[in-house]
Structures are given as structure tokens and as C-alpha cells.
Amino acid sequence: MKPKPYLLTSEGLERLTNKLNELKTSGREKLAERLHQAFQDGQDDDFVDNAELEAARHEQSIMEGQIQDLEAILSNYQLIDDLEVDKHSVNIGARVTVVEDGFDEEEVYQLVGAAEADPIEGRISNESPLGRSLLGSKIGDMVRVSAPNGLIEFRVKKIEY
């Protein structure tokens, strides 16, 4: 049975594809140079341990894991843009403007699949606490999010697709 597809926006698909290509080309090339240099530098030492070589190998392992993860995502995805959703309520793919209760500053988030979530860039997962709370809400609705420091309420101000 095929696993559930990763939900991606077209921008997210492009971002992940570019990241994969970058890792497989320049990322691997730079790392190969670093591994070669660390190996060469280590041959001059009498020490058995070569910290730089070990660090480069560790970095290589992490990068290869990232490549595998990206390949798995890109081999099984569904574009959010292709989903038919109610444009009057918050669904995956929406840009949502909210205001935290008791504050005036507006915050804008795009609700995306977990594979392309990046809270620093304003892309939150539909599986995150805030994402789950926002799903299905309409303009004017208050949503509650359970956070480590207690319950936080947000009012939905705007929904854009």
C-alpha cells in the first residue's frame, strides 16, 4: 500500500526540487573536496584520529539523509493547488492573517503540508497545533491553540488563496 502523499504547494515543489538538485550537485562536490582535503591533511599526522575527516563524514551522512528524504517526498506528493477546497474557510494552501487575542499586531501564515513547513518563513504545517486549529475556520472566528505556556486565542482576520 502506497503511503499517504505529501501535500505541497507549487512553490514548495519548486523549492524542494531545487534543494535536492543543489545537494546532489554542488553539495556533494563541496563535501567531496572537504573529505579529500581532510584525508590529505590527516596523512601528515601521527594521530590515528582525524577530527576533520570524521566531521566531514558525519556531514556527508546528514546530507545523504536529506537527499533520501527529499527524494521520498518528491516521489509521492500531491499539489495543494489541485485540491478543491472551500475558499471561504481556512484550508491547506491558504494564507491566513490572524491577530492574537489581546494584541494588535497581525501575523500572516501560509498553511502547508508538513514537508514544506518553515515557521520562520511563515509556512506552518496543517499538522501543527496552530495549523490544526485554523483548519475550517472563517473570517472573524476565534481559534484556540494549546501552547506550553497555556491556551492562546487568535482571531482570523483574512483568508487568501
**71 with 90, same domain?**
no
- Report angle CA 100, 106, 108 to the nearest 5 degrees: 105
The residue-averaged pLDDT of 133-149 equals 95
Domain final residue pick, 30, 56, 79: 79
Residue 21 domain-assigned (yes or no):
yes
* CATH classification at residue 147: 3.10.50.30
Provide the 8-state DSSP code for 153. E
Q: In the predicted model, what is the mean pLDDT of residues 24-48?
A: 82
Select the more confidently predicted residue: 59 or 39.
Answer: 59
The answer to the question of residue 1 being in a domain is no
Residue 51 pLDDT: 84
Let me know whether 98 and 68 are in one domain.
no
Residue 90's domain comprises 85-160
> Is the pLDDT score of 145 beyond 70?
yes
CA distance 130 to 126: 8
Count: domains in the chain: 2
Q: Are 152 and 100 in contact (CB under 8 A)?
A: yes
For 18-33, the pLDDT digits (tens) are 999 999 999 999 999 9
Question: 2 CB contacts (<8 Å, ≥6 apart)?
Answer: 76
Residues 72 and 18 in one domain: yes
Q: Which helix (H) or strand (E) holds 43?
A: helix 28-43
Q: Are 58 and 93 within one domain?
A: no
Please check the confidence at residue 122 and state whether its pLDDT lies above 90: yes
User: pTM of the prediction?
Assistant: 0.77
Judge whether 112 and 124 are in contact, CB under 8 Å.
Answer: yes
69 and 116 housed in the same domain: no
CA-wise closest residue to 75 among 67, 83, 64, 63: 67
* Last residue in a domain, options 53, 79, 105: 79
H or E stretch at 11: helix 10-22
CATH of residue 72's domain is 1.10.287.180
